[in-house]
Amino acid sequence: CRGMAKSKFEYVREFEVLDTCLRNCWVVVRVDGRNFHRFSDQHHFVKPNDIRALQLMNRCAENVMNELEDICLAYGQSDEYSFVFHKKSNWYKRRASKFMTHVVSQFASSYVFFWKEFFPDQAILYPPGFDGRVVLYPNEQNLKDYLSWRQADCHINNLYNTVFWSLVQKGGLTPSEAQKRLRGSVAAEKNEMLFSEFNINYNNEPVLYRKGSVLIWQKVNEVSKKKIKLPNEDEEKEVEVSRWRSETVQLHCDIIGNEFWEEHPDILAE
């Protein structure tokens, strides 16, 4: 029975500790696939970028944004996704464990749920896991720098992986030979190797691979037909009604420079 009466066991609740996120800070939850090096091998992901896997990640993030409250932006690349809760959010009284566990479990169940839409010919062989963490950023610059850090990471890894897999797949090198060739090389040298040896201009590689994915909200005007009956008329009349609805949009743009924030001042607005 769940009435007002308290059992003698109730005191154990006092062992729970508060984990309230400091007010007025941006709350970032980042999830990352557990041992996706192995997961991507076992599921025959195309190297270095399996587009199906990236689109599945984006679909999961879209589901997280739609199911949970107060997420104003998400950024994803590789097997990770970051979710930004608005600094004014009071969802679950800002409990860190609620933010983190709802994001990570919604994301993980979505990954399995939507798998077959993106991998119709490949069964999912075992249940994947994701880790999660919460980080608070006390001002806009810190938050923007956090997102820049993740996008810079995407760029560095993708440039490396593009050369590495070109050397292996097209250049006939073994993985350890490719690794040796790349050791100590700077970005300009990697670009040059791609261009001179494989005729690849890195800047022409798909923007999804180079920049990752940004999810934000966009207002769309939805027009639908509705039957109404006016008090003075016998017949039902069909009228058009329009209403504003928010839906997520996927972008693959630079978020390191100021342009993105200038074009979308509403994202961080109060």
Residues in touch with ligand ATP (CB under 6 A): 32-37, 40, 45, 47, 49-50, 53-54, 78-79
Q: Are 172 and 224 in contact (CB under 8 A)?
A: no
The reply to whether 80 sits near Mg ion by the rule CB under 5 A is yes
Task: Tell me how far, at minimum, the Cβ of 192 lies from Mg ion, in Å.
Answer: 27
Report the chain's C-alpha Rg in angstroms. 24
Site string for Mg ion, 18-37 (x = CB under 5 A): --------------xx--x-
Task: Tell me how far, at minimum, the Cβ of 78 lies from Mg ion, in Å.
Answer: 5
94 versus 150: smaller Cβ distance to Mg ion: 150
Distance CA 88, CA 215 (A): 19
Cα atoms in the Cβ-side hemisphere of radius 13 Å centred on 187: 9
131 versus 140: smaller Cβ distance to ligand ATP: 131
Task: Tell me how far, at minimum, the Cβ of 42 lies from ligand ATP, in Å.
Answer: 11
Considering only residues 94 to 113 of the shown chain, the ones binding Mg ion according to CB under 5 A are none
Question: CA 49, 188, 74, 127 torsion: positive or negative?
Answer: positive
Instruction: Pick what 49 binds: Mg ion, ligand ATP, none; C-beta below 5 to 8 Å, kind-dependent.
Output: ligand ATP
Task: Tell me how far, at minimum, the Cβ of 56 lies from ligand ATP, in Å.
Answer: 9
25 versus 101: smaller Cβ distance to Mg ion: 101
Q: Which of 119, 130, 124, 128 is nearest to 50 (CA)?
A: 119
173 versus 208: smaller Cβ distance to ligand ATP: 208
129 versus 171: smaller Cβ distance to Mg ion: 129
The reply to whether 128 sits near Mg ion by the rule CB under 5 A is no
Neighbours of 176 (CB within 10 A): 8
Instruction: Report residue 71: phi and psi, to 5°.
Output: -85, 125
3-class state of residue 4 by DSSP: coil
Strand partners, 80: 32, 77
37 versus 225: smaller Cβ distance to ligand ATP: 37
Q: Which of 152, 121, 148 is nearest to 137 (CA)?
A: 148
The reply to whether 62 sits near Mg ion by the rule CB under 5 A is no
Residue corresponding to tokens 């069964």: 123
Task: Tell me how far, at minimum, the Cβ of 79 lies from ligand ATP, in Å.
Answer: 4
3-class state of residue 26 by DSSP: strand
Which residues make up the interface to Mg ion (CB under 5 A)?
32-33, 36, 78-80
